[in-house]
Amino acid sequence: MRMRRGPSNPRAVAPVIRLIRAERRSAMLGHRNLIRHPVLSITALFGLHWDVRKLILLAIAVFVLLFVFLVARSATPVVDLPLAVTSIGQATPITVHVRDPRGIRRLQAFVEQKGARYEVFDMAQPSKSSEAVWNFTAGIKTTPQLHEGKAKLIVEATSHDMLRKTGHAERDVTVVTQPPAINVDSEPHYLYLGMADLATFTVSGGWTDAGVLVGDQKFRAWPTPGGKPGLFSLYAFAWNMPTDTVPLVYAANDAGSNVTRPLVVVFPKREQPKYTVHDLRVSDAFMQKVISELDPNGTGDPVARFVKINSEMRRADNKTLSDLRFKTADKFLWSKPFIRQPHSQAEANFAEVRNYIYQGKKIDQQVHLGYDLAVTQHVGVQASNDGKVIYAAPLGIYGNSIVIDHGYGLQTIYGHLIRIDVHEGDAVKQGQVMGLSGQTGMAAGDHIHFAMQLDGVQIDPKEWWDAHWIKDHIARRVDLPRFNMSSGASPSSAHGSIAGKGFSAVTITRDLLASLSGGRQ
Ligand SMILES: [Zn+2]
């Protein structure tokens, strides 16, 4: 039934069809229905004149190719809403990233609330760019119909090609008509350089971020433990903070509102720790030890290499330590006063200023932000309190180091170990031996560099060795589960030989405060 040769003139088609019909009627009686509409039927198509078939097939092929071409060229726009957008206020800036190889014909944004849809943005100018960023604002200012509460932000982008596919992104948001409001505890907070404190407060209205600001240092707020209402922040008044700095409780929402309230503070000028200045003589042997260990591939002037390690590497190491604040638990992992390494002698105290003297000349000055605790060579290094190991590895000038998280941004640091016996992620108990002391890093003799940090700011650990201070500043203000003053360090190990100038001054102040406030302790 195939391949009839004939004239290519289209006027010859009609008789040909009639001929085919006649043939079919006799040859394929059983398939009569299929050939009733010959032009529409594939069976009939094959029966057409060869040239006509060619034309029709060509037309179909062109259509298919065009379609495939269009589909291949067209894309669905990918719309990205930044994760930070969680609430909408007066006029909240919103940035949308859209990717589409053909560009964007139209971009629209809506806020949906209680079944109603409000357009908040309609991009008028089509863009040919394959990656575009669109900025607009959404909020009560332009959409006064919005109410406080839940809503949905929807962004739709239409591709700049023939098929006009639409990509979309949506996000649950909260419409915030009121700025945050802060209610701060009213008690006076006594500030001492290098020390910590705890503030309690409540934040109402719409807020996404809160805490205590001391200068440019931010301390996070946490929900009060034990299911009680409100928030608290452990914050530090850093050793080098300008003394007229007033800590502020802050609350912000990503709708653009930012509110602060000052804490009631007392800064007893005469009772502040007095940081001492010491000359540290650098021998040739020590300089060689430090540069060969910490800058093994370096060349050039040994003094310059030593100073570079002491300044730049120290700064980088302190940054690494500070960044560990993000690896903290949102609960107290401890319940007893912190302990100081038993039987240890403090060879250096917190925030001592050190002049590095080489061949009679001062080559550098740094501040020592911890205690150098010496016992005997290779003594077992004990965990100061219960917690979780978040760092156990070499760390530049601090040598082999361990950092333990105790929750709510409070962390202890142990440096210069010869051997580390714990791993990141291990839970440790107070007094647990975690490795052996040594003199790795920038250490001239076997000792433990013990330090403490609060939300990344290094603080003087001695308050945390003091059961009375913890009771008065922490346990009295928030629920510290199972806190027991009698546990933890014995008085001799807690105070020991570090009762230096700063410490006795602060102790006197606290006793004075206790008597003024009716003997809280
Ligand atoms: Zn040290």
- Dist. CA 485 → ligand 1 center (Å): 29
Tokens of 408: 């709510």
pLDDT reported for residue 419: 98
Residue 514 burial (C-beta neighbours within 10 Å; 0-12, 13-18, 19+): middle
More confident residue, 503 or 82: 82
The two three-digit tokens of residue 367, written as one number = 């501040």
**For the chain, domain boundaries:** 10-73, 78-175, 181-271, 278-516
Task: Please give the distance, rounded to the nearest whole angstrom, from the Cα atom of residue 398 to the centre of ligand 1.
Answer: 8
Q: Distance from the CA of 467 to the center of ligand 1, in angstroms?
A: 24
**Choice between 49 and 111, residue whose per-residue pLDDT is larger:** 111
Beta strands in 114-194 (DSSP E): 116-122, 131-138, 149-159, 166-175, 181-184, 189-190
Nearest to 387 by CA among 448, 338, 454, 320: 338
End-to-end CA distance of the chain: 111
State yes or no: pLDDT of 382 exceeds 70. Answer: yes
Helix (H) or strand (E) holding 217: strand 217-220
Whole-number Å distance, alpha carbon 311 to ligand 1 midpoint, is 14
Pairwise pLDDT comparison (76 vs 429), residue with the higher score: 429
The CATH superfamily holding the domain 78-175 is chitin-binding protein cbp21 (2.70.50.50)
Residues 111 and 152 sit within 8 Å (Cβ to Cβ)? yes
CB 497 within 8 A of CB 346: yes
Collapsing DSSP to helix, strand or coil, 198 comes out as: strand
Q: Is 41 exposed, middle or buried (0-12, 13-18, 19+ CB in 10 A)?
A: middle
Most confident of 27-31, 87-91, 115-119, 382-386: 382-386
Query: From the CA of 278, how far away is ligand 1's center (Å)?
Result: 13
Residue 290 has pLDDT above 80, yes or no: yes
Confidence of residue 323 (pLDDT cuts 50, 70, 90): very high
Output the CA 350–ligand 1 centroid distance in Å.
Answer: 9
pLDDT recorded at residue 205:
78
- Average pLDDT of the residues of the chain: 85
Residue 63: CB atoms within 10 A of its CB come to 10
Share of the chain above pLDDT 70, in %: 83
State mean pLDDT over 300-311.
97
How many Å lie between the centroid of ligand 1 and the Cα of residue 290?
Answer: 14
pTM above 0.75, yes or no: no
The rounded Å distance from CA 369 to ligand 1 centre is 7
pLDDT tens, 442-476? 999 999 999 999 999 999 999 999 999 999 999 99
Count CA within 13 A, CB hemisphere, residue 428: 30
Please determine, for residue 71, whether its predicted confidence score (pLDDT) is greater than 90: no
Residues 257-273 pLDDT 10s: 789 999 999 999 999 99
CA of 411 to the centre of ligand 1 (A): 16
Q: Please tell me the predicted confidence (pLDDT) of residue 255.
A: 66
Q: Mean pLDDT across the stretch 347-369?
A: 96
Tell how far the Cα of 41 is from the centroid of ligand 1, in angstroms: 92
CA of 28 to the centre of ligand 1 (A): 102
Could you tell me the fold of the domain covering 181-271? Immunoglobulin-like (2.60.40)
Q: How high is the pLDDT of residue 411?
A: 98
Q: Are 428 and 382 in contact (CB under 8 A)?
A: no
- For ligand 1, the distance from its centroid to the CA atom of residue 330, given in whole angstroms, is 29
CA of 473 to the centre of ligand 1 (A): 27
CA of 245 from ligand 1 middle (Å) equals: 28
What are the φ and ψ backbone dihedral angles of 23, each rounded to 5 degrees? -60, -45
Whole-number Å distance between alpha carbons of 236 and 37: 89
Taking the centre of ligand 1 as the mean of its atom positions, its distance from the CA of residue 453, in whole angstroms, is 14
pLDDT band at 163 (very low <50, low <70, confident <90, very high): confident
Q: How far apart are CA 408 and CA 46, in angstroms?
A: 80
- Quickly name the fold that domain 278-516 has: Glucose Permease (Domain IIA) (2.70.70)
What's the CA gap between 475 and 483, in Å, rounded? Answer: 7
Residue 441 Cα to ligand 1 middle (Å): 10
Ligand 1 centroid distance, CA of 297 (Å): 25
Per-residue confidence (pLDDT) for residue 41, from 0 to 100 = 57
Ligand 1 center from residue 448 Cα (angstroms): 7
Give distance in angstroms: CA of 61 to centre of ligand 1.
80
Residue 294 CA to ligand 1 centre (angstroms) = 16
pLDDT at residue number 44:
61
Cβ pair 428, 404 in contact under 8 A: yes
pLDDT at 442 (0 to 100): 97
Q: Which residue has the higher pLDDT, 258 or 11?
A: 258
Poorest-pLDDT segment among 163-172, 237-246, 274-283: 163-172
Question: Helix, strand, coil proportions of the chain in percent (round to 5)?
Answer: 25, 35, 40
Residues 202-228 have pLDDT tens digits of 998 778 899 999 999 999 999 999 888
Lowest mean pLDDT among 95-99, 321-325, 382-386, 453-457: 95-99
* pLDDT grade for 418, boundaries at 50, 70 and 90: very high
